[in-house]
A and B are shown apart, each in its own frame.
Chain A
Amino acid sequence: MTQTETRDAAVAPPRSGRGGLRGRAPGRWTGYLFVVPAVVFVVATVLYPLIFNIDLSFRDVGVAQIVAGDAEWVGWENYADQLGRDEFWHALVTSLLYTGLAVAFAFALGMALAVYFNQRFPGRNVMRSLLLLAWILPTVVSANVWRWMLDGSYGLLNTLLDAAGLVDGDIFWLARPVPALFAVVFATAWSFTPFIMILLLAGLQGIPDTLYEAATIDGAGAWRRFVSVTMPLMRPVNLTALLLCFIYTFKTFDTVFLMTRGGPGEATMVLPIYAYNEAFEFFRFDTGAVATTLMLVVPLGLSVLYFRYLRKEETA
């Protein structure tokens, strides 16, 4: 068995070297041919819609134009219109607030769980798998369950608080601006926590035990070990987890739409729902395209900062 492998390995290099002279070009071409499906896929599903959307944002596209397909080029007019609208800025601020809070909660909870599950104890794998359910549960299920739990007349939360004597009467959490915002934040953080936990857990397992042993010998307690050993070594993993979570959350549409539709009023009107309303409720496809294009800017900016940081880390 071992012998055969060694012989193959020994024979292989000269053969490919010889064949390379004659069959080099076709070989390379075959290679590129294998890439074609991936390129077609990316062009058709990512590049084309992206460019189409950006093109749309520079034209005057209402209901009539989308049908006739002859939209007039208006340059930056749509952008000026959107940047001058209070509703757009409100949606952007709401989006940042929602994303910031959700990421903070998800990260704090995810880190706590990762540290917890990084220890060995019976039933660890079962519990870890159960936690992942929150991540794999379809949003249409989890968001509706949240909506029911928070309902004023038959919701679980109200029943519990009522039984504990903390509230009197029906409180419709999703009908009030501030509780509604926190409700969508918690629902989002709840579903992202297991994802963060898995990412961080992988990072934690890469930290050698010897470092902790050394720290312990130096007299460091559990908190000191976490702050001085775990956190510095986890920095790249933390950043990746935060960035991924931020991007995913920033573009979240389903959870918020199913729970509040952006309401009450405009309390949870995040950018994706704002863009959806512009395009598909009010049929202003042009300003909807502007909103989605501008929506790209924030995650894109963060990604650039992230890659710049990574490069600095590598060269340092």
Chain B
Amino acid sequence: MRRTGGRAGAAWTARVAAVLVTAAVLAACGSGDSDDETSGDGGSTTVSLWHFYNTPDTPTGAALQNLLDRYEEEHEGVTIEPRHIPYADFARTLLQAAAGGDLPDIALINAFTTQSMAEAGVIQDLSDRVEDWGEQDAYFETSWNTTQGDGSTYGIPHVADAYAVYYNEAMFAEAGLEPPTTWAEMQDVATQLATGDRYGLAFSGIEGDEGATALIIRMLAAGADPSDIDSPEGVAALTQFSDMIAAGAVSNGVLTWTEEDAKNQFANGQAAMMINSATYVSVLAEEYPELQWNVALLPSDAEASTFLSAENLTISATSENADAAWDIITWMQEPDVLAEYLPERNKLAARDDVDTGDDPIRAVFAEQLQHAWAPEGTLAAASSEVFTHIQSAMQAAVSGAASPEDALADAQAKIDEALANVE
């Protein structure tokens, strides 16, 4: 009995081992790489491009698709295969693709992530190509700086955007007010315009880095450095935001609003002003024809800075079509191409030699862009985390969980740790 049991046991183990080996073999069969994406057939080239500008059936996605179609028409033998990945998943998907050795040729990335993507080895050094190209001096300094890492150039700017103040002209005329030029005036004007169901000012303050933009703009105006917020200037900025929310000039709901939500509040007349980027210019014009609105420069105090929103065109480290990719991204930056593309895309040129007409609203955004701020160096590499902590400080102060001083001191400790992690 015992002997049989031992033999059966051994046989059983052998069988289990065999099953596992079979499983491993089958699994190995499944992971064979197929290299069928880059090289096209006979003389033609296929270049893949990943972006987060939405699908072609949306206004932003359509503008990009039209641009790519135009390139294909003018360049025989080149096919561009665009792929849309939602913004929230973009950086993660790109890193996963890099780890899996399956990167696209061109990646249109958030400008602030350029440096960390370069450090990760996801995108390639374009310094030599840029040197031969020789157009780097046409770009605004803030925008061009986002392409730099360790003295090399890792991308070229695609578009730029800046935050400014949208205001409801009818409400301002009715109250006999002018757009504010300082933050003290902003508080005053927003308080006066808040009546009944209406708030004075709307912006996005949602959980995460997206919701930090407005407070960063306010801090920049006070002269605070977003990596050093535990300062008298930082406290002044946050205290004013808390006060405006406590007084009802700004809705407590900003803590739950995305930029899209802020736009809806403004479009529906529930907010007299909003801080937002040029992205919504044509949406407001086309979908809300009744709304009387205009755009003003952000209020300024010590500084007149706005927050840069930008994307860079990069070529992946493993691209086999780097020459074709370089031709595409530089073509996309030709002034006459941009002149047609940018108004459709509701964005601004990152360079100063593009004529996009004399639309007064675009002119305000273009002027605002001259004073754009963007994180650099270690702050750029840790920007997502640092901005998240700045939003947390706002949340804590606004909800009354902590005083502005304590909220900022707490956030500063986390920011210091995040910056130290990068170095």
Contact, CB under 8 Å: A151 / B120: no
Q: A28-B15, A175-B252 known; A281 and B385 CB under 8 Å?
A: yes
> Taking CB as reference atom, which chain A residue is nearest B20?
A39
Q: Which residues of B82-135 have CB atoms within 8 Å of chain A's CB atoms?
A: 91-92, 95, 98-99, 116-117, 119-122
Chain B min CB distance to A66 (Å):
5
Residues in A neighbouring B122, C-beta threshold 8 A:
67
* Residue in contact with B253 in the complex, picked from A35, A36, A170, A280, CB distance below 8 Å: A170
Asked whether B19 is an interface residue with its Cβ less than 8 Å from the other chain, the reply is yes
On chain A, the residues within 8 Å of B384 by CB distance are 281-282
A69 to B197, CA, bound (A): 55
Contacts of A169 in B (CB 8 A): 248
Residues of chain A contacted by B119 (CB below 8 angstroms): 63-64
Q: Distance (Å) between the CB of A140 and the closest chain B CB?
A: 13
Asked if B255 is at the interface (CB within 8 A of a chain A CB), the reply is yes
A265/B395 in contact, CB under 8 A = yes
Which residues on B sit within 8 Å (CB–CB) of A277? 388
Residue from B15, B27, B207 within 8 A of A44 (CB atoms): B27
The smallest C-beta distance from A256 to any residue of chain B, in angstroms, reads 11
- Chain B positions 248-270 with a Cβ under 8 Å from a chain A Cβ: 248, 251-253, 255-256, 265, 270
Query: Given A39-B20, A63-B116, do A264 and B207 touch, yes or no (CB 8 Å)?
Result: yes
C-alpha gap A281/B401 in the complex (Å)? 25
**B19, A36: Cβ atoms closer than 8 Å:** yes
- The answer to whether A280 touches B23 (Cβ under 8 A) is no
* Per-residue interface assignment for chain A, residues 6 to 47, with 1 indicating a CB less than 8 Å from any chain B CB and 0 otherwise: 000000000000000000000011001001100110011000
Q: How far is the CB of B33 from chain A (nearest CB, A)?
A: 15
User: Which residues of B are found within 8 Å of A152, using beta-carbon distances?
Assistant: 251-253, 256
Q: Which residues of A contact B64 (CB under 8 A)?
A: none
- Residue A261 CB within 8 A of the other chain: yes
Query: Interface centre among B197, B384, B399, B418, by most A CB within 10 Å?
Result: B399
Residues of B within 8 A of A283 (CB): 91, 95, 116
21 examples of A-B residue contacts, CB within 8 angstroms? A32-B18, A36-B26, A40-B26, A43-B24, A62-B120, A63-B120, A66-B95, A67-B95, A67-B122, A68-B121, A69-B99, A153-B253, A172-B253, A175-B255, A175-B395, A176-B399, A263-B208, A264-B395, A264-B399, A282-B418, A283-B116
List the interface of chain B (C-beta within 8 A of A). Answer: 15, 18-20, 22-24, 26-27, 30, 91-92, 95, 98-99, 116-117, 119-122, 197, 206-209, 248, 251-253, 255-256, 265, 270, 384-385, 388, 392, 395-396, 398-399, 401, 418, 421
